[in-house]
Structure 1
Amino acid sequence: MNKKYITNLYNIGKLSQVDIHFANFIADLCKEDDPEIILGAALVSHATGQGDICVDLESFSGKQMMEDQNDDIPVMLPKLDQWFDKIRKSSVVGKPGEFYPLILDKNNRLYLYRYWEYEHILAESINRRIKQDVKKINASLLQDSLKRLFPKESEPQHSKNHINWQKIASITAAIKNFCVISGGPGTGKTYTSAKILAILLEQEHSEPLRIFLCAPTGKAAAKLSESIKKTKQELNCSDAVKRLIPLETYTIHRMLQTIPGSPYFRYHSENLLPADVVLVDEASMVDLALMSKMISSIPMTARLILMGDRNQLASVESGSVFGDICDPNGMQMFSTEYSKTLEIITGQKLEPELEHKQENEPENKPKNKPTNKPTNKIAPLITNFTKGQGLPDCIVVLKKSLRFSETSNIGELTQAVNNGEWEEILPLLKKKGTPQIKWQQPKDLKDTYNVIGKKIIQGYSEYLKENDPLKALEQFNNFKLLCALKLGPLGVYGLSRLAEEVLKKEKLILMDMSDVYPWYRGRPVLITKNDYSLGLFNGNMGITMPDPKQGGKNLYVFFPEASGGVKRYPTHKINEHETAYAITVHKSQGSEFDHLCLVLPDKDYLVLTRELVYTGITRARKSLMILGNEHVLKAAVSRSIDRTSGLRDALWE
């Protein structure tokens, strides 16, 4: 191997210019002209740029790669032993815990130092939290809370699975220092979170609990606030407790208090957040760096509750943190001891496959049979489990979707996509007499545009004819075009432009097509950067309209408020934004629409994954149209996001 080969990897698109510059920087730093070390540096730079936390040298070692597009002679990458030995001996590479530009661990994973540190801080904090004692739980008060908040008549006895997973999640969050709640759309994550807060507030406290509710984006934070506000009024608890349930929500950045012009926050490991409870919604969207900074700023004595959907898209930045935390096999596993505790508290028998024998448990340990009703003798059991156990006992998966029934076509498709089995998916897409799902394979771009054009007119005409801003916003969210890509004729920009052309032709909008960012009545707007001065956040969507109360002379952009009303801003005050007839699947996370059209590109891309398709189709409540050929869709659901990291090993081995 020689340095020319690394340059050729750049020429054929295997490495970026940034990767080459970083590799040369490392070479200059260590004053070594060793191509194996330079290659390792280039690969780790490329890996982090692709969303990985590190590069697994073993996955590259001994592989053949073409040196040039027109060269039939393959070049063999270094064998692992040789490569590992050279990198290990380099003056710029250290072991875990040492301070060097690159870190090489015992499992042949090569990291940039800062990513190794982020991963180490996160894993260490989680492992400490699951062993940390929490404040004493009053068993009698807990039982009383559970009886009122989860009455018998609400138990899902009609279901084959009688387990009330929302109740299990609430118990776990109450008696654990660290709790992870994963669930698909409509499984009641935010509904459960309000009950968790009520249970915690009903415990005896010398001072009111300091509770922080947060999410990675402003839109997700606003939705969490809206959901909590709606849910807490329905809770069977005192008005005093309801008043203590906070409605204020934060983005994670605002909660930690960003320092302008700096990657650091006001709250960190040396200046902890003054919190007793921190609840994070849409945690699957949080990248490694932000999760590490957040968790290190939260006191060990505080309860940390992460909520999300482990099957959704991972964060835009590096890592698939929520998925790595949830567990390696996607299975719900409790220790035998914790299963017994839950059975006694709830009076419900947990499924045998949910029990996970811990290493120190005897093979033939007798199991207590569950009672038909909760017992009053649970205090010793609760005391035992507030002293910390393993990570499996901290994770609860909500399984019953209240949005999709067991016979729902969208629900069936969601499960099939999640399984990644094309043989399950294809019959559902081709099944006749299913008005909820429609799959079309246009023959070319013109045919695709014709289909989309009809959906645009059908989906957007109603809101464009409405004069009341609140009603227009409600009608606008009845339908949405979702794209996998931003660029190209079937990306966000191309389809938003198509929508303007179609709607102008139908005389539903009046605009000058020559303007790059024209303001016109009916223009939908997506905020792309947080503006705290206006209270507008990345992901917020609004409609451009005249104010009917002012005679309709000037245009404003109207946005929905959590209170149920609207807020308006003059168009000249709206800064970072884009036209939003179509949005990416990434931007749609946390949103729901009655009717949805998911548009896939006409050829396969690596960004098309099972998680993207799953996230897209689960935004639909009532009907779903998928536009895309069979080859592209099949490739997408067969490809799962697999970001390389050491976090799973650090938490689960």
Structure 2
Amino acid sequence: MIKTLLKQALKLHLLRTLDLQFAELLVNDNYHPARFLVTALLSAEVGKGNICLPLSQLTKNMLFKGEYPELSRAIWQAAGKPQNWHSIFKNWSALTSVNQKVAPIILDANSLYLHRLWEYKEQIINFLKSNSIFESFASEQIRAVLDKLFGIDSENCQKIAAAVVLTQKIAIISGGIGTGKTITLVKILMTLISLSKGNLRIQIIAPTVKEATLLKGSLRKILQALSLNSVEQKHFPLEVISLYRLLGVHSETLQPKYHSNNHLHLDVLVINSAFMIDLKMMVNVITALPPQARVVLIGDQYQLIPMKVSSLIGDICYCYAKSGYSHKYALKLSLLTGCKVPIVDSLNNIPIVIQNSICLLYKKHDFNQNTVIEQLARFVNNGKIKKVKSLLNNSFTNIKLRPIINKKDYLVMVEEIAENYKSFLKLIYKKAEIIEIIHAFNHYKVLCIMQEGILGANELNYSIEHKLIDLEFIQPYRFRNPWYQGRPIILTCNCSTLGLFKGDIGITLYNHEGILKVFFLHTNKMIQSISLNHVPMHKTAWAMTIYQSQGLVFNHTALVMPIRFISQLTRELLYTAIISTRNYLTVYSRNSIFYHTLQSPYQRYTGGLESFDKLINS
């Protein structure tokens, strides 16, 4: 009975086939329907990127987030109306407690984990807990170098972050859009090089090759505007590599070359976009670190979490961190920086050693505080519904909320999108320079929540293409050949042999010989052309998902939201879409969907708070 009802949830995409298969592997549903239910739900939460399933979520009203109450009631009835979960778990061979027998599921502090994920979480918590003070440099030297690079302003969170990096083995720097994370990183590295006289082996990494390439370009741009001395110029680490390359992950076995028995050869590891690294890969990095290594983790706790199980570190900043330090450490930082350093009296259930390693950047540097886009991002970030409504009702010309209620609205939206691509396509037929054409395409971008389904990227790409054909902006398909001049594509896999990577965007154009090829613009402004039959796996890119667009910035972003609320709609998703635009934002959505999303922060089940409680009590 319970399996039949859960198959209905499967059809509604509330569960995956894998979730039911996992439950069948561990439980006989005829004898233990409640155990079968909880096993399937735990598997589903892991599939969503959560580390654990809190027992507090196992109620009739919380099932499927209350979206399908009738189905939830029927499932709860079939499960025997469970009340005392500890009693239900008693003598279950598939479940264990901490420091007990090994089993697939572990119960720890009223949360259920897959045993493997629990071990990963414990490793990361223990790593953060092992943080220690580094006294590598004299205080007077630190103060002199920080004053030179950051100035003597008494309020400077970037300068404080640099002091934390100089005095801690582990530092976590988190800041939203425009808080100057990259410039802070550059100055921190200049400080380390200056104080160590270039004797530190420093490596910068990013989760993917694409992000590593983008960061490398940003670093070079910043360095051109700064005055580096000869030591800094010689030793500044300009090479940014991917996480997989750092660990030497084998392309076939996926086993890392560097691990606990073969440490990395470095003294300082900087991980950019660290909160996007999944749990297992973060553990791989931690175990491969040499004992003396400093680690600097940089990210934005308000952006999207990884699609795999999150690394916990970003969740710590998002859920628990406060802007401040223990009284003793704040005094030390104040002496090193000359800044007013905030003191946190109540450490919000975080151990002091972890709280002291967190640096929250808040002062805006890249954005004008008064721009409408920046204000909207900040209000969405903080869930300020009234302020968001006020902003959208002020009739600003560069930010619009367009309703999508019926088919007519949909057709109007597609026509508007096609018109926005008109200038890009005109340049093609004027035979403009390829670099000018590619820049014109990146001027405007349509972002979606999903790849599949109604108002997903696939459907929108189809509609946009056919509208462009109707308007005679592009030529129709010939003999089912998907290629045509002007077709934009986004790569969905890496191809190191071609120097192309997942997320790269190419434009299909005729070359000077009249042959269709796909042209890619690299960060060094070099243009690469690829024959159609050599192009790696890809999708048409008139529209793309928000996940695919991360790290890219456009002059005008059009965000298309679903016609009904789905669990994937979160405040973080909205925030990430907003910060992808420089000047113009158009949101196509029902008002109810938009504001419901604004009120829906991502529910992160990491078990972090429970682990901190145990650390503090012990």
Please confirm whether the aligned pair reaches a TM-score higher than 0.5, indicating the same fold.
yes
| Structure 1 residues 317-328: aligned runs within 5 Å | 317-319=308-310, 321-326=312-317, 328=319
Provide the residue aligned with 1:422 in structure 2.
385
Residue of structure 1 equivalent to 2:119: 117
- In structure 2, the partner of 1:285 is 276
Give RMSD over aligned pairs.
2.9
Query: For 1:437, which of 392, 399, 415 is the aligned residue?
Result: 399
Contact 1:460 1:476 in 2 (8 A): no
Q: Which aligned pairs between 1:220-299 and structure 2 lie closer than 5 A?
A: 220-299=211-290
Q: How far is the alpha carbon of 1:215 from its aligned partner?
A: 1.3
Q: Secondary structure in 1 aligned to 2:356?
A: helix
For structure 1, the 5+ residue unaligned runs are 156-161, 360-387
Deviation at residue 632 of structure 1 after TM alignment? 0.6
Paired AA for residue 107 in structure 1: A
Once the two structures are superposed, the pairs formed by residues 65-464 of structure 1 within 5 Å of their partners are 69=71, 75=77, 82-97=84-99, 100-128=102-130, 130-131=131-132, 133-134=133-134, 136-152=136-152, 155=153, 163-204=155-196, 208-319=199-310, 321-326=312-317, 328-329=319-320, 331-351=322-342, 354-356=343-345, 390-432=353-395, 434-462=396-424, 464=426
Q: Is the 8 A contact 1:343 1:350 kept in 2?
A: yes
Corresponding residue to 1:60 among 58, 61, 73: 58
Deviation at 1:329, TM superposition (A): 3.8
User: Which residue does the alignment assign to 1:477?
Assistant: 442
Query: Which residue in the other structure is 2:499 paired with?
Result: 535
How far off is 1:343 after superposition? 2.2
Number of the residue aligned with 1:50 = 48
Q: Which residue identity does 2:8 align to in structure 1?
A: N
**Where does residue 596 of structure 2 map in the other structure?**
635
Q: Deviations over 1:148-180 (max 9, x none)?
A: 32235xx5xxxxxx6222222222122211111
Measure the CA separation in 2 of the matches of 1:70 and 1:495.
Answer: 33
**Cα gap change, 1:443/1:208 in structure 2, threshold over 3 Å: closer, same or farther?**
same
Measured after TM superposition, the shift of residue 101 of structure 1 is 3.3
CA contact (8 A) 2:403 2:590 kept: yes
Shift of residue 16 of structure 1?
3.5
CA distance in 2, matches of 1:254, 1:421: 41
Shift of 1:564: 2.8
Q: Would you say the 8 A contact 2:95–2:104 is kept in 1?
A: yes
Amino acid at match of 2:409: D
User: What is the rounded CA distance, in whole Å, between the counterparts of 2:606 and 2:79 in structure 1?
Assistant: 21
What amino acid is the match of 2:219? Answer: I
Check if 1:502 corresponds to 2:463.
no
Tell me: CA distance 1:224–1:123, structure 2 relative to 1, closer, same or farther (3 Å).
same
Once structures 1 and 2 are overlaid, which stretch shifts more, 117-126 or 238-247? 238-247
Q: 1:513 to 1:275 in 2, by over 3 A?
A: farther
Comparing 77-86 with 256-265, greater Cα deviation is found at 77-86
In the TM superposition, residue 188 of structure 1 has moved relative to its aligned partner by 1.4
CA–CA separation in structure 2 for the residues paired with 1:416 and 1:255: 37
Q: CA deviation at 1:514?
A: 6.3
The TM-score, its normalising length taken from structure 2, stands at 0.90
CA shift for structure 1 position 60 = 0.9
Pick closer, same or farther for the CA change 1:309–1:588 going to 2, 3 Å: same
- Confirm or deny: 8 A CA contact 2:271 2:298 kept in the other structure: yes
Partner of 2:427: 465
2: CA distance, partners of 1:614 / 1:63: 28
Correspondence 1:603 to 2:564: yes
Structure 1 length-normalised TM? 0.85
Q: Which amino acid aligns with 2:214?
A: K
Provide the rounded CA distance (Å) in 2 between the counterparts of 1:111 and 1:579.
Answer: 39
Q: CA deviation at 1:456?
A: 3.1
After TM superposition, give the deviation of residue 62 of structure 1 in Å: 7.0
Out of 7, 10, 17, the position equivalent to 1:10 is: 7
Correspondence for 2:490: 526
In structure 2, runs of 5+ residues without a counterpart are none
Q: Percent identity?
A: 29
Is the Cα contact below 8 Å between 1:526 and 1:539 reproduced in 2?
yes
Contact 2:33–2:79 (8 Å) recurs in 1: no
Amino acid at match of 2:505: M
Deviation of residue 135 (structure 1)?
A: 6.0
* Aligned length, in residue pairs: 603
Give 1:449 shift: 2.9
